[in-house]
Protein backbone atom coordinates (compact mmCIF):
# COMPACT_ATOMS: atom_id res chain seq x y z
CA UNK A 1 0.00 0.00 0.00
CA UNK A 2 1.53 3.34 -0.99
CA UNK A 3 1.31 6.17 1.49
CA UNK A 4 1.29 9.76 0.23
CA UNK A 5 1.89 12.92 2.25
CA UNK A 6 1.00 16.52 1.29
CA UNK A 7 3.93 18.94 0.85
CA UNK A 8 2.83 21.15 3.73
CA UNK A 9 3.15 18.23 6.15
CA UNK A 10 6.44 17.14 4.63
CA UNK A 11 7.97 20.54 5.52
CA UNK A 12 6.96 20.00 9.13
CA UNK A 13 8.09 16.39 9.27
CA UNK A 14 11.57 17.06 7.95
CA UNK A 15 11.85 20.57 9.40
CA UNK A 16 12.68 22.54 6.24
CA UNK A 17 11.08 25.60 4.70
CA UNK A 18 8.63 25.41 1.83
CA UNK A 19 11.17 27.13 -0.37
CA UNK A 20 13.89 24.62 0.37
CA UNK A 21 11.40 21.85 -0.42
CA UNK A 22 10.32 23.47 -3.68
CA UNK A 23 13.97 23.87 -4.60
CA UNK A 24 14.45 20.10 -4.17
CA UNK A 25 11.42 19.41 -6.34
CA UNK A 26 12.61 21.84 -9.02
CA UNK A 27 16.04 20.22 -9.10
CA UNK A 28 14.50 16.72 -9.34
CA UNK A 29 16.01 15.71 -6.00
CA UNK A 30 12.50 14.87 -4.77
CA UNK A 31 9.71 13.28 -6.83
CA UNK A 32 6.13 14.37 -6.25
CA UNK A 33 2.83 13.13 -7.52
CA UNK A 34 -0.10 15.58 -7.66
CA UNK A 35 1.51 17.76 -4.97
CA UNK A 36 2.11 14.74 -2.72
CA UNK A 37 5.25 12.88 -1.72
CA UNK A 38 5.25 9.09 -1.51
CA UNK A 39 6.57 7.79 1.81
CA UNK A 40 9.46 5.73 0.39
CA UNK A 41 10.49 8.66 -1.80
CA UNK A 42 10.49 10.89 1.28
CA UNK A 43 12.80 8.52 3.15
CA UNK A 44 15.06 8.23 0.11
CA UNK A 45 15.38 11.99 -0.27
CA UNK A 46 15.93 12.60 3.46
CA UNK A 47 18.01 9.63 4.60
CA UNK A 48 19.35 11.55 7.61
CA UNK A 49 16.04 12.79 8.97
CA UNK A 50 15.51 11.77 12.58
CA UNK A 51 12.04 10.30 12.33
CA UNK A 52 12.21 8.82 15.79
CA UNK A 53 13.12 12.20 17.28
CA UNK A 54 9.51 12.94 17.79
CA UNK A 55 9.35 16.60 18.67
CA UNK A 56 5.57 16.62 18.68
CA UNK A 57 5.40 13.71 21.17
CA UNK A 58 7.92 15.50 23.35
CA UNK A 59 5.93 18.70 23.14
CA UNK A 60 2.82 16.90 24.34
CA UNK A 61 4.74 15.26 27.18
CA UNK A 62 6.14 18.61 28.24
CA UNK A 63 2.69 20.12 28.18
CA UNK A 64 1.40 17.28 30.34
CA UNK A 65 4.26 17.70 32.77
CA UNK A 66 3.40 21.32 33.27
CA UNK A 67 0.11 20.11 34.42
CA UNK A 68 -0.42 22.88 36.88
CA UNK A 69 -0.96 24.16 33.51
CA UNK A 70 -4.40 22.84 33.00
CA UNK A 71 -4.95 26.09 31.14
CA UNK A 72 -1.72 25.67 29.14
CA UNK A 73 -2.82 22.15 28.27
CA UNK A 74 -6.22 23.35 27.16
CA UNK A 75 -4.72 26.11 25.03
CA UNK A 76 -2.25 23.81 23.28
CA UNK A 77 -4.74 21.11 22.41
CA UNK A 78 -7.52 21.51 19.87
CA UNK A 79 -11.03 22.19 21.10
CA UNK A 80 -12.33 18.93 22.62
CA UNK A 81 -15.05 18.44 20.03
CA UNK A 82 -12.54 19.04 17.24
CA UNK A 83 -10.13 16.63 18.92
CA UNK A 84 -12.89 14.02 19.23
CA UNK A 85 -13.76 14.47 15.53
CA UNK A 86 -10.10 14.10 14.49
CA UNK A 87 -9.70 10.98 16.62
CA UNK A 88 -12.91 9.56 15.17
CA UNK A 89 -11.57 10.15 11.67
CA UNK A 90 -8.29 8.49 12.60
CA UNK A 91 -10.26 5.56 14.03
CA UNK A 92 -12.13 5.26 10.74
CA UNK A 93 -8.87 5.26 8.83
CA UNK A 94 -7.52 2.57 11.14
CA UNK A 95 -10.69 0.46 10.70
CA UNK A 96 -10.53 0.80 6.90
CA UNK A 97 -6.86 -0.25 6.88
CA UNK A 98 -7.65 -3.25 9.09
CA UNK A 99 -10.55 -4.27 6.85
CA UNK A 100 -8.25 -4.06 3.83
CA UNK A 101 -5.62 -6.22 5.54
CA UNK A 102 -8.28 -8.82 6.42
CA UNK A 103 -9.35 -8.82 2.80
CA UNK A 104 -5.75 -9.39 1.65
CA UNK A 105 -5.40 -12.17 4.21
CA UNK A 106 -8.58 -13.86 2.86
CA UNK A 107 -7.30 -13.59 -0.71
CA UNK A 108 -4.04 -15.23 0.35
CA UNK A 109 -5.87 -18.09 2.13
CA UNK A 110 -7.96 -18.61 -0.97
CA UNK A 111 -4.81 -18.62 -3.11
CA UNK A 112 -3.21 -21.14 -0.78
CA UNK A 113 -6.21 -23.50 -1.09
CA UNK A 114 -6.31 -23.01 -4.85
CA UNK A 115 -2.66 -23.98 -5.15
CA UNK A 116 -3.42 -27.13 -3.11
CA UNK A 117 -6.27 -28.01 -5.47
CA UNK A 118 -4.31 -27.38 -8.66
CA UNK A 119 -1.22 -29.21 -7.41
CA UNK A 120 -3.06 -32.57 -7.16
CA UNK A 121 -3.51 -33.07 -10.93
CA UNK A 122 -0.27 -31.55 -12.15
CA UNK A 123 3.03 -32.84 -13.32
CA UNK A 124 6.00 -32.92 -10.95
CA UNK A 125 7.44 -29.91 -12.74
CA UNK A 126 4.29 -27.79 -12.30
CA UNK A 127 3.97 -28.92 -8.67
CA UNK A 128 7.50 -27.79 -8.07
CA UNK A 129 6.79 -24.39 -9.69
CA UNK A 130 3.66 -23.93 -7.56
CA UNK A 131 5.56 -24.93 -4.46
CA UNK A 132 8.20 -22.32 -5.26
CA UNK A 133 5.52 -19.62 -5.66
CA UNK A 134 3.93 -20.54 -2.33
CA UNK A 135 7.30 -20.58 -0.56
CA UNK A 136 8.10 -17.17 -2.04
CA UNK A 137 4.82 -15.69 -0.77
CA UNK A 138 5.15 -17.24 2.70
CA UNK A 139 8.76 -16.13 3.05
CA UNK A 140 8.04 -12.54 2.02
CA UNK A 141 5.01 -12.28 4.26
CA UNK A 142 7.07 -13.45 7.22
CA UNK A 143 9.95 -11.11 6.50
CA UNK A 144 9.93 -7.71 8.19
CA UNK A 145 11.26 -5.09 5.73
CA UNK A 146 14.49 -3.52 7.05
CA UNK A 147 13.02 -0.01 7.10
CA UNK A 148 9.69 -1.03 8.70
CA UNK A 149 10.51 0.81 11.95
CA UNK A 150 11.33 3.97 10.00
CA UNK A 151 8.12 3.76 7.97
CA UNK A 152 6.16 3.30 11.18
CA UNK A 153 7.89 6.30 12.79
CA UNK A 154 7.13 8.59 9.83
CA UNK A 155 3.48 7.54 9.70
CA UNK A 156 3.14 7.95 13.48
CA UNK A 157 4.63 11.46 13.29
CA UNK A 158 2.32 12.43 10.47
CA UNK A 159 -0.68 11.12 12.41
CA UNK A 160 0.25 13.17 15.45
CA UNK A 161 0.58 16.26 13.27
CA UNK A 162 -2.87 15.54 11.88
CA UNK A 163 -4.37 15.31 15.35
CA UNK A 164 -2.69 18.48 16.59
CA UNK A 165 -3.28 20.63 13.50
CA UNK A 166 -5.30 20.91 10.33
CA UNK A 167 -4.07 22.32 7.05
CA UNK A 168 -6.04 25.07 5.30
CA UNK A 169 -5.84 26.10 1.64
CA UNK A 170 -7.58 29.29 0.55
CA UNK A 171 -9.06 29.62 -2.92
CA UNK A 172 -8.56 31.47 -5.18
CA UNK A 173 -5.45 33.09 -3.59
CA UNK A 174 -3.68 29.78 -2.88
CA UNK A 175 -2.55 30.85 0.61
CA UNK A 176 -1.95 27.98 3.01
CA UNK A 177 -1.66 27.79 6.78
CA UNK A 178 -2.17 25.41 9.70
CA UNK A 179 -4.82 25.67 12.41
CA UNK A 180 -3.32 24.63 15.72
CA UNK A 181 -4.45 24.39 19.33
CA UNK A 182 -7.99 25.64 19.81
CA UNK A 183 -7.69 28.49 17.31
CA UNK A 184 -10.51 29.38 14.98
CA UNK A 185 -9.73 29.56 11.27
CA UNK A 186 -9.60 33.37 11.50
CA UNK A 187 -7.17 33.40 14.45
CA UNK A 188 -4.90 30.86 12.75
CA UNK A 189 -4.92 32.80 9.47
CA UNK A 190 -3.99 36.09 11.14
CA UNK A 191 -1.27 34.38 13.17
CA UNK A 192 0.12 33.02 9.89
CA UNK A 193 0.10 36.51 8.35
CA UNK A 194 -2.79 35.80 5.96
CA UNK A 195 -4.99 38.87 5.80
CA UNK A 196 -8.48 37.43 5.52
CA UNK A 197 -11.52 39.66 5.47
CA UNK A 198 -13.05 40.16 8.89
CA UNK A 199 -14.69 42.78 11.06
CA UNK A 200 -15.69 42.24 14.69
CA UNK A 201 -13.90 38.88 15.17
CA UNK A 202 -16.63 37.75 17.56
CA UNK A 203 -19.49 36.53 15.44
CA UNK A 204 -21.53 39.70 14.99
CA UNK A 205 -20.78 41.27 11.63
CA UNK A 206 -20.62 38.39 9.12
CA UNK A 207 -17.56 39.92 7.41
CA UNK A 208 -15.53 36.75 7.87
CA UNK A 209 -17.89 34.54 5.86
CA UNK A 210 -16.15 31.86 3.83
CA UNK A 211 -17.34 28.83 1.86
CA UNK A 212 -16.18 25.32 2.58
CA UNK A 213 -15.05 23.53 -0.58
CA UNK A 214 -13.74 20.34 1.00
CA UNK A 215 -13.03 18.95 4.46
CA UNK A 216 -14.97 19.67 7.61
CA UNK A 217 -15.25 22.65 9.95
CA UNK A 218 -16.84 22.77 13.38
CA UNK A 219 -18.46 25.67 15.23
CA UNK A 220 -16.45 26.24 18.41
CA UNK A 221 -17.86 29.68 19.36
CA UNK A 222 -21.50 30.69 19.22
CA UNK A 223 -22.28 33.64 16.94
CA UNK A 224 -25.08 36.18 16.82
CA UNK A 225 -24.78 36.79 13.08
CA UNK A 226 -27.47 34.79 11.28
CA UNK A 227 -26.49 32.89 8.16
CA UNK A 228 -29.33 32.39 5.69
CA UNK A 229 -30.44 28.86 4.85
CA UNK A 230 -29.17 29.36 1.29
CA UNK A 231 -25.73 30.27 2.68
CA UNK A 232 -25.67 27.26 4.96
CA UNK A 233 -26.74 24.99 2.10
CA UNK A 234 -23.78 26.14 0.01
CA UNK A 235 -21.26 25.59 2.80
CA UNK A 236 -20.93 29.19 4.03
CA UNK A 237 -19.63 29.55 7.61
CA UNK A 238 -18.01 32.18 9.84
CA UNK A 239 -14.25 31.85 10.17
CA UNK A 240 -14.19 33.59 13.56
CA UNK A 241 -16.51 30.92 15.00
CA UNK A 242 -15.23 27.71 13.41
CA UNK A 243 -12.18 25.48 13.70
CA UNK A 244 -11.00 23.00 11.06
CA UNK A 245 -11.67 19.36 11.92
CA UNK A 246 -9.41 18.04 9.17
CA UNK A 247 -7.52 19.45 6.19
CA UNK A 248 -9.84 21.91 4.48
CA UNK A 249 -10.05 23.95 1.30
CA UNK A 250 -12.10 27.12 1.67
CA UNK A 251 -13.12 29.99 -0.57
CA UNK A 252 -12.45 33.35 1.12
CA UNK A 253 -11.32 36.87 0.29
CA UNK A 254 -7.80 37.89 1.16
CA UNK A 255 -7.79 41.64 1.69
CA UNK A 256 -5.51 44.12 -0.07
CA UNK A 257 -4.53 47.51 1.38
CA UNK A 258 -7.55 49.23 -0.17
CA UNK A 259 -10.03 46.68 1.19
CA UNK A 260 -9.37 47.49 4.83
CA UNK A 261 -11.69 50.08 6.29
CA UNK A 262 -10.48 53.02 8.35
CA UNK A 263 -10.71 52.22 12.07
CA UNK A 264 -10.56 54.23 15.26
CA UNK A 265 -9.74 52.68 18.57
CA UNK A 266 -8.41 53.56 22.00
CA UNK A 267 -5.26 51.57 22.72
CA UNK A 268 -3.30 51.42 25.97
CA UNK A 269 0.42 52.06 26.26
CA UNK A 270 2.11 48.78 27.16
CA UNK A 271 5.62 50.20 27.31
CA UNK A 272 7.99 52.74 25.84
CA UNK A 273 11.31 51.27 24.69
CA UNK A 274 13.96 53.95 24.28
CA UNK A 275 16.66 52.63 21.94
CA UNK A 276 18.81 55.77 22.14
CA UNK A 277 18.24 59.52 22.58
CA UNK A 278 16.83 59.74 19.04
CA UNK A 279 14.58 56.70 18.51
CA UNK A 280 12.04 54.98 20.73
CA UNK A 281 9.43 52.30 20.21
CA UNK A 282 5.93 52.68 21.54
CA UNK A 283 4.26 49.35 22.32
CA UNK A 284 0.47 49.55 22.33
CA UNK A 285 -2.23 47.07 23.21
CA UNK A 286 -5.49 47.24 21.26
CA UNK A 287 -8.72 46.50 23.16
CA UNK A 288 -9.66 42.83 23.38
CA UNK A 289 -12.88 43.51 21.49
CA UNK A 290 -11.30 45.58 18.69
CA UNK A 291 -7.88 44.69 17.40
CA UNK A 292 -6.49 46.92 14.66
CA UNK A 293 -6.83 45.47 11.21
CA UNK A 294 -3.89 46.45 9.00
CA UNK A 295 -1.29 45.09 6.61
CA UNK A 296 2.42 45.06 7.24
CA UNK A 297 4.01 48.28 5.98
CA UNK A 298 0.98 50.51 6.69
CA UNK A 299 0.90 53.43 9.13
CA UNK A 300 -1.45 54.92 11.74
CA UNK A 301 -2.22 58.31 13.20
CA UNK A 302 -1.72 58.48 16.96
CA UNK A 303 -3.16 61.14 19.27
CA UNK A 304 -2.64 61.74 22.97
CA UNK A 305 -2.62 64.72 25.34
CA UNK A 306 -3.41 67.14 22.52
CA UNK A 307 -0.58 65.98 20.26
CA UNK A 308 -0.70 63.72 17.23
CA UNK A 309 1.39 62.32 14.40
CA UNK A 310 1.36 59.68 11.70
CA UNK A 311 3.90 56.85 11.98
CA UNK A 312 4.66 53.55 10.30
CA UNK A 313 3.67 50.41 12.20
CA UNK A 314 6.74 48.33 13.03
CA UNK A 315 4.96 45.16 14.17
CA UNK A 316 3.39 42.36 12.17
CA UNK A 317 -0.39 41.99 11.84
CA UNK A 318 0.17 38.44 13.10
CA UNK A 319 0.93 39.79 16.60
CA UNK A 320 -2.72 39.92 17.60
CA UNK A 321 -3.43 42.97 19.84
CA UNK A 322 0.15 44.24 19.99
CA UNK A 323 1.03 47.30 17.87
CA UNK A 324 4.57 48.67 17.77
CA UNK A 325 5.40 52.14 16.48
CA UNK A 326 8.94 53.48 16.13
CA UNK A 327 9.34 57.23 16.44
CA UNK A 328 12.24 59.52 15.62
CA UNK A 329 12.57 62.35 18.16
CA UNK A 330 12.14 65.72 16.48
CA UNK A 331 11.75 69.05 18.20
CA UNK A 332 8.95 70.05 15.80
CA UNK A 333 7.04 66.80 16.48
CA UNK A 334 5.16 67.26 19.75
CA UNK A 335 4.03 63.63 19.86
CA UNK A 336 7.62 62.43 19.64
CA UNK A 337 8.56 64.73 22.53
CA UNK A 338 5.65 63.35 24.54
CA UNK A 339 6.81 59.80 23.85
CA UNK A 340 10.29 60.54 25.17
CA UNK A 341 9.21 62.49 28.18
CA UNK A 342 5.63 62.00 29.25
CA UNK A 343 3.99 58.72 28.19
CA UNK A 344 3.54 55.96 30.76
CA UNK A 345 2.17 52.42 30.79
CA UNK A 346 -1.64 52.33 30.61
CA UNK A 347 -1.96 55.82 29.13
CA UNK A 348 -4.65 55.89 26.50
CA UNK A 349 -3.73 56.59 22.84
CA UNK A 350 -6.22 57.22 20.06
CA UNK A 351 -5.28 55.16 17.03
CA UNK A 352 -6.67 55.86 13.57
CA UNK A 353 -5.82 53.92 10.44
CA UNK A 354 -4.50 52.09 8.63
CA UNK A 355 -3.00 54.39 5.97
CA UNK A 356 -0.87 53.64 2.94
CA UNK A 357 -0.38 51.02 0.27
CA UNK A 358 3.22 50.09 1.02
CA UNK A 359 2.38 46.42 1.57
CA UNK A 360 3.79 43.06 0.64
CA UNK A 361 3.06 41.76 -2.85
CA UNK A 362 2.32 38.36 -1.47
CA UNK A 363 1.44 36.91 -4.87
CA UNK A 364 5.13 37.33 -5.77
CA UNK A 365 7.63 34.61 -4.90
CA UNK A 366 10.57 36.67 -6.21
CA UNK A 367 13.58 37.21 -3.96
CA UNK A 368 13.34 40.46 -2.04
CA UNK A 369 15.76 43.28 -1.25
CA UNK A 370 14.71 45.48 1.67
CA UNK A 371 16.38 48.89 1.86
CA UNK A 372 15.85 50.82 5.09
CA UNK A 373 17.16 54.34 5.60
CA UNK A 374 17.40 55.26 9.29
CA UNK A 375 14.04 54.98 11.05
CA UNK A 376 12.58 53.79 7.72
CA UNK A 377 13.49 50.48 9.31
CA UNK A 378 10.07 50.49 11.07
CA UNK A 379 7.80 49.53 8.13
CA UNK A 380 10.56 47.31 6.73
CA UNK A 381 10.63 45.39 10.03
CA UNK A 382 6.87 44.87 9.79
CA UNK A 383 7.19 43.68 6.17
CA UNK A 384 10.02 41.29 7.01
CA UNK A 385 8.11 39.74 9.89
CA UNK A 386 5.06 39.39 7.68
CA UNK A 387 7.12 37.82 4.87
CA UNK A 388 8.62 35.39 7.38
CA UNK A 389 5.23 34.28 8.64
CA UNK A 390 4.01 33.77 5.06
CA UNK A 391 7.24 31.94 4.08
CA UNK A 392 6.82 33.09 0.49
CA UNK A 393 9.98 34.85 -0.64
CA UNK A 394 12.77 32.73 -2.05
CA UNK A 395 15.39 34.91 -0.36
CA UNK A 396 15.39 38.16 1.63
CA UNK A 397 18.28 40.62 1.93
CA UNK A 398 18.07 43.55 4.30
CA UNK A 399 20.30 46.59 3.71
CA UNK A 400 20.00 49.05 6.57
CA UNK A 401 21.66 52.41 5.87
CA UNK A 402 22.01 54.03 9.26
CA UNK A 403 21.54 57.71 9.98
CA UNK A 404 22.69 59.40 13.17
CA UNK A 405 20.43 57.10 15.25
CA UNK A 406 22.46 54.05 14.16
CA UNK A 407 21.28 50.46 13.72
CA UNK A 408 19.16 50.61 16.84
CA UNK A 409 17.82 47.04 16.38
CA UNK A 410 21.00 45.46 15.15
CA UNK A 411 20.64 42.41 17.40
CA UNK A 412 17.18 41.65 16.10
CA UNK A 413 18.40 41.74 12.48
CA UNK A 414 21.35 39.49 13.33
CA UNK A 415 19.00 37.07 15.09
CA UNK A 416 16.85 36.86 11.92
CA UNK A 417 19.96 36.16 9.86
CA UNK A 418 21.06 33.44 12.32
CA UNK A 419 17.66 31.80 12.39
CA UNK A 420 16.80 31.80 8.68
CA UNK A 421 18.76 30.24 5.84
CA UNK A 422 17.22 32.57 3.29
CA UNK A 423 17.77 35.86 5.15
CA UNK A 424 20.84 38.09 4.86
CA UNK A 425 21.47 41.22 6.87
CA UNK A 426 23.92 43.90 5.71
CA UNK A 427 24.22 46.97 7.97
CA UNK A 428 25.73 50.05 6.29
CA UNK A 429 27.43 52.67 8.46
CA UNK A 430 26.19 56.23 8.54
CA UNK A 431 27.52 58.17 5.59
CA UNK A 432 26.67 61.47 3.95
CA UNK A 433 27.42 59.88 0.59
CA UNK A 434 24.28 57.78 0.24
CA UNK A 435 24.73 57.45 -3.50
CA UNK A 436 28.09 55.65 -3.18
CA UNK A 437 26.67 53.24 -0.59
CA UNK A 438 23.70 52.49 -2.80
CA UNK A 439 25.91 52.05 -5.88
CA UNK A 440 27.88 49.41 -3.97
CA UNK A 441 24.68 47.61 -2.97
CA UNK A 442 23.33 47.63 -6.51
CA UNK A 443 26.59 46.32 -7.96
CA UNK A 444 26.14 43.14 -5.87
CA UNK A 445 23.00 42.26 -7.84
CA UNK A 446 23.83 41.66 -11.51
CA UNK A 447 20.37 40.03 -11.92
CA UNK A 448 18.18 42.77 -10.42
CA UNK A 449 15.32 41.98 -12.81
CA UNK A 450 14.59 38.88 -10.66
CA UNK A 451 14.01 40.90 -7.47
CA UNK A 452 11.36 42.93 -5.71
CA UNK A 453 12.74 45.94 -3.82
CA UNK A 454 10.99 47.49 -0.81
CA UNK A 455 12.54 50.73 0.39
CA UNK A 456 11.69 53.19 3.13
CA UNK A 457 13.42 56.51 3.82
CA UNK A 458 13.09 60.21 3.13
CA UNK A 459 11.79 61.31 -0.27
CA UNK A 460 15.24 62.39 -1.45
CA UNK A 461 16.92 59.13 -0.33
CA UNK A 462 14.25 57.14 -2.10
CA UNK A 463 14.63 59.14 -5.30
CA UNK A 464 18.38 58.41 -5.44
CA UNK A 465 17.80 54.74 -4.67
CA UNK A 466 15.02 54.37 -7.22
CA UNK A 467 17.09 55.92 -10.00
CA UNK A 468 20.02 53.60 -9.27
CA UNK A 469 18.00 50.40 -8.98
CA UNK A 470 16.03 51.08 -12.16
CA UNK A 471 19.19 52.06 -14.03
CA UNK A 472 20.70 48.68 -13.10
CA UNK A 473 17.83 46.62 -14.40
CA UNK A 474 15.13 46.54 -11.72
CA UNK A 475 11.72 46.59 -13.49
CA UNK A 476 9.79 49.69 -12.42
CA UNK A 477 6.85 47.64 -11.17
CA UNK A 478 9.19 45.77 -8.78
CA UNK A 479 10.10 49.00 -6.94
CA UNK A 480 7.92 49.62 -3.87
CA UNK A 481 8.68 52.50 -1.56
CA UNK A 482 7.36 54.55 1.30
CA UNK A 483 8.73 57.88 2.50
CA UNK A 484 8.61 59.36 6.00
S1 LIG B 1 -15.48 38.81 12.00
FE2 LIG B 1 -17.43 39.51 12.44
S3 LIG B 1 -18.61 37.71 12.33
FE4 LIG B 1 -16.60 36.99 12.09
Index of the ligand 1 atom closest to the CA of residue 203: 3
Q: How many percent of the chain have pLDDT more than 70?
A: 94
Main-chain phi, psi angles of 20, to 5 degrees: -60, -40
- Whether the upstream peptide bond of residue 354 has omega within 30° of 0, thus cis, is yes
For residue 67, name the pLDDT band (cuts at 50, 70, 90): very low
Query: What size, in residues, is the chain?
Result: 484
pLDDT (mean) for 9-37 = 81
- Whether the upstream peptide bond of residue 172 has omega within 30° of 0, thus cis, is yes
pLDDT (mean) for 43-64 = 62
Reply yes or no on whether the pLDDT at 33 is more than 60: yes
pTM metric for this prediction: 0.76
Q: Is the CB of 198 under 6 A from ligand 1?
A: yes
* Distance (Å, whole) CA 399 – CA 441: 8
pLDDT tens digits for range 131-187: 888 888 888 888 887 788 888 888 888 888 888 889 999 998 888 899 988 889 999
CA of 319 to the centre of ligand 1 (A): 19
Mutation test residue for ligand 1: of 184, 185, 203, 221, the one with most atoms within 8 Å of CB: 203
What is the β-pairing status of strands 368-373 and 396-401?
Answer: parallel
Q: How many percent of the chain have pLDDT more than 90?
A: 52
- Pick from 129, 130, 166: which is nearest to 8 by CA? 166
Q: Which segment, 43-57, 74-88, 209-223, 255-269, is predicted with the most confidence on average?
A: 209-223
Contact present, 69 and 63 (Cβ < 8 Å):
yes
Report the top-level CATH class of 368-483: alpha beta
Reply yes or no on whether the pLDDT at 64 is more than 60: no
* Strand order across the 248-251 sheet: 176-180, 165-171, 248-251, 209-214, 236-238
Reply yes or no on whether the pLDDT at 30 is more than 80: yes
Reply yes or no on whether the pLDDT at 53 is more than 60: no
* Distance (Å, whole) CA 354 – CA 325: 13
Q: Is the CB of 6 under 6 A from ligand 1?
A: no
Cβ neighbours of residue 132 under 8 Å, at least 6 residues apart?
Answer: none
Using a 10 angstrom Cβ sphere, with 0-12 exposed, 13-18 middle and 19 or more buried, the burial of residue 143 is exposed
We find that the CATH architecture of domain 165-257 is: Roll (3.10)
- At residue 68, the pLDDT reads 40
The ranges assigned to domains in the chain are: 165-257, 259-355, 368-483
Q: Is the CB of 412 under 6 A from ligand 1?
A: no
pLDDT tens digits for range 69-113: 444 445 567 888 888 888 888 888 889 999 999 999 899 889 888
- At residue 46, the pLDDT reads 84
Q: What is the mean pLDDT of the chain?
A: 88
CA of 94 to the centre of ligand 1 (A): 37
- At residue 209, the pLDDT reads 96
What is the β-pairing status of strands 236-238 and 368-373?
Answer: unpaired
Q: Is the CB of 204 under 6 A from ligand 1?
A: yes
Index of the ligand 1 atom closest to the CA of residue 199: 1
Q: Tell me the three state secondary structure of residue 130.
A: helix
pLDDT tens digits for range 414-457: 999 988 888 999 999 998 899 999 999 999 999 999 999 999 99
Q: Is the CB of 240 under 6 A from ligand 1?
A: yes
* Distance (Å, whole) CA 252 – CA 189: 11
Q: Is the CB of 219 under 6 A from ligand 1?
A: no
Q: Is the CB of 236 under 6 A from ligand 1?
A: no
Q: Tell me the three state secondary structure of residue 299.
A: strand
* Distance (Å, whole) CA 134 – CA 442: 71
For residue 63, name the pLDDT band (cuts at 50, 70, 90): very low
* Distance (Å, whole) CA 351 – CA 309: 10
Residue nearest to atom 1 of ligand 1 (CA): 201
Q: Report the CATH fold assignment for 259-355.
A: Elongation Factor Tu (Ef-tu); domain 3 (2.40.30)
Q: Is the CB of 187 under 6 A from ligand 1?
A: no
Residue nearest to atom 3 of ligand 1 (CA): 203
> Which whole-number Å values give the CA distances from 418 to 212, 376, 386, 410, 414, in the listed order?
39, 23, 18, 12, 6
pLDDT tens digits for range 34-47: 778 888 888 888 88
Index of the ligand 1 atom closest to the CA of residue 238: 4
pLDDT tens digits for range 186-214: 999 988 888 888 888 889 999 999 999 99
CA of 288 to the centre of ligand 1 (A): 14
Amino acid sequence: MRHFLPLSRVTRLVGISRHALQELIRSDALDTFDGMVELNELMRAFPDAKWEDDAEFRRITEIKEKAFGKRVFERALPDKEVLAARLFELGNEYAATRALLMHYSNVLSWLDEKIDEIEEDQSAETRHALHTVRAFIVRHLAEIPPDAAKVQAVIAQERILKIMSAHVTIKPSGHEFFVESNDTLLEAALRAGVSLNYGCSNGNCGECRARLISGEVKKVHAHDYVLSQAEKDTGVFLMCSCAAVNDVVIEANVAGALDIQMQQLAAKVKSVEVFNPQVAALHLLAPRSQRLRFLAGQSVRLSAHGTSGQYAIASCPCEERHIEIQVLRKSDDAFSELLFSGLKANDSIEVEGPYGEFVLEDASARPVIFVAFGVGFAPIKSLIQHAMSLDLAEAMDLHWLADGAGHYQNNLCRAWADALDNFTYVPHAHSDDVETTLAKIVSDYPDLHRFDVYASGTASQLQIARDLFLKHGLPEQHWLASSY
